[in-house]
Amino acid sequence: MDPVFMAQVLVRLFPPLGLTMLLSVTALAIATPLGLALGAWRAELSDRHPAARLIDAWVFFVRGTPILIQIFAFYFILPKLGLQTPLFGMGVGALVLNSAGYQIEIGRAAVQSVAKGQWEAALALGFDRRASLRQFILPQAARRMVGPVMNELSQLIKASSVLSVITLFELHKAAEAISSANLRFSEVIVVEGFLYFVFIFGISLIAKVFERRLSSAGGLADAGSFAR
């Protein structure tokens, strides 16, 4: 291991790391409201509703296929449909497709985890189901979504490395280029792994601090408080 070479690699990988961060955060910013909204809606739909079947099909596709297939779907199918999309847009689109599919389940499970008594109490006060969901159920469910959503950001960061297959010059693709050019794979992979670890570990710490402050501040209602 050459520390000097590894330091040079570290500096060279900072710009691609920035692209990885931008891809992940952009995808999360789009996928989170989309996925959680569809998940909350899915929790209210019967299994026979056409929209429920479409949402379930999305989830089944995402969970039943590798993200590599989903990326290639964007890369090869969109141009055939006449949609000329930049590589960055394709990468974000593939990550959104994947992440929203998982976040649908996060939203659905969070809404369904709220005690049935919460609904009954809201309806007894004269709220319809939509108002009950918006004003009472979602604030309680949102508290339970924080951890899984932050974990999803970590998953997106790792999943973004697969975008190297469409020549998007993110962190993993840049590391591959440097290692191939210098034929020094060990040093490069150590530096690359270090950057991924620090980034994801930092996200995990932020998530824990956020959840702790949210709990101590009592910013969102506890799951059983409204019914009592």
pLDDT at position 219, please?
43
Per-residue model confidence (pLDDT) at position 215 = 66
Structural domains of the chain ordered from first start = 3-217 (1.10.3720.10)
> Mean pLDDT per segment of 10 residues, for the chain of length 228 residues?
89 93 92 90 88 93 92 89 87 93 89 75 74 74 79 88 90 92 90 92 83 61 35
Query: Which structure tokens are listed for 22?
Result: 């931008």
What was the pLDDT predicted at 96?
Answer: 94
The confidence score (pLDDT) of residue 108 equals 87
Q: 65: left (phi > 0), else alpha (psi -120 to 50), else beta?
A: beta
147-159 tens-digit pLDDT: 788 888 888 889 9
Q: What is the pLDDT of residue 214?
A: 67
Structure tokens at 130: 């939509």
Contact indicator for 103, 147 with CB cutoff of 8 Å: no
Predicted confidence (pLDDT) per residue in 198-208, tens digit: 988 988 888 78
pLDDT for 227: 32
Per-residue model confidence (pLDDT) at position 7: 92
How far apart CA 95 and CA 141 sit, in angstroms, is 24
- Joined together, the tokens standing for residue 16 give 């691609």
Using an 8 Å Cβ cutoff, are 37 and 107 in contact? yes
Contact 93, 156 (CB under 8 A): no
